[in-house]
């Protein structure tokens, strides 16, 4: 099969009540809808493309000790290409675009490579990429006896890399 497609849909609805005598109570209503359409195309052995789109809508109403009433919508698209350059070397690259209601859009990326040495059962790996994390509703808006949210928080952005060695130990497994 050349093309595989998966549609994932999810819905969460939570209604929670917390009682804190003699301080009172807090009611939290949370609803989350998630859709993700993921597609994989295997052009040839060792040449694969992954692409898809996603949607997420999260709304929270917290009365009492949270005082949150907000909705966040996220729309995303992603693409990843994996290519076996030689029998020993595989290269993978990908990108993800996300558009947040409250933080605008962002593009993250990742590249990775793996080189296998068949004679010793060793694989050398390395990757580099960027990341993005938006603050949660709680971090932005919460008000409680132990935490006060900060509506001026900015998203976290980072660049990272890693290298590693994987060694096949035969019947003992892989290290």
- Each residue of 11-47: pLDDT tens digit? 999 998 888 777 777 788 989 999 999 999 999 999 9
For residue 141, give the 3-state DSSP assignment: helix
d(CA 130, CA 157): 7
Nearest to 130 by CA among 102, 100, 97: 97
Q: When comparing pLDDT for 149 and 155, which is higher?
A: 155
pLDDT in tens, 57-97: 999 888 776 677 889 999 999 999 999 999 999 999 999 99
Cβ–Cβ < 8 Å for 136, 156: no
The answer to whether 108 and 100 are in contact (CB under 8 A) is no
Q: CA-CA distance, 84 to 120, in Å (whole number)?
A: 20
């Amino acid at each position: 099969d050349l093309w595989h497609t998966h549609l994932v849909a999810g819905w969460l609805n939570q209604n929670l009540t917390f009682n804190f005598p003699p301080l009172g109570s807090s009611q939290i209503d949370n609803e989350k809808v998630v859709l993700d359409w993921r597609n994989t195309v295997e052009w040839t052995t060792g040449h694969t493309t992954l692409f898809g789109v996603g949607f997420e809508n999260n709304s929270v109403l917290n009365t009492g000790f949270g005082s949150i009433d907000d909705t966040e919508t996220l729309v995303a698209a992603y693409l990843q290409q994996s290519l076996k350059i030689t029998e020993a070397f595989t290269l993978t690259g990908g990108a993800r675009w996300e558009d947040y209601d409250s933080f605008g859009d962002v593009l993250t990326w990742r590249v990775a490579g793996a080189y296998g040495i068949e004679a010793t059962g060793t694989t050398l790996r390395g990757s580099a990429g960027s990341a993005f994390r938006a603050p949660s509703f709680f971090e932005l808006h919460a008000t409680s006896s132990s935490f006060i949210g900060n509506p001026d928080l900015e998203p976290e952005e980072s660049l990272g890399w890693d290298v590693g060695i994987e060694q096949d130990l035969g019947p003992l497994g892989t290290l």
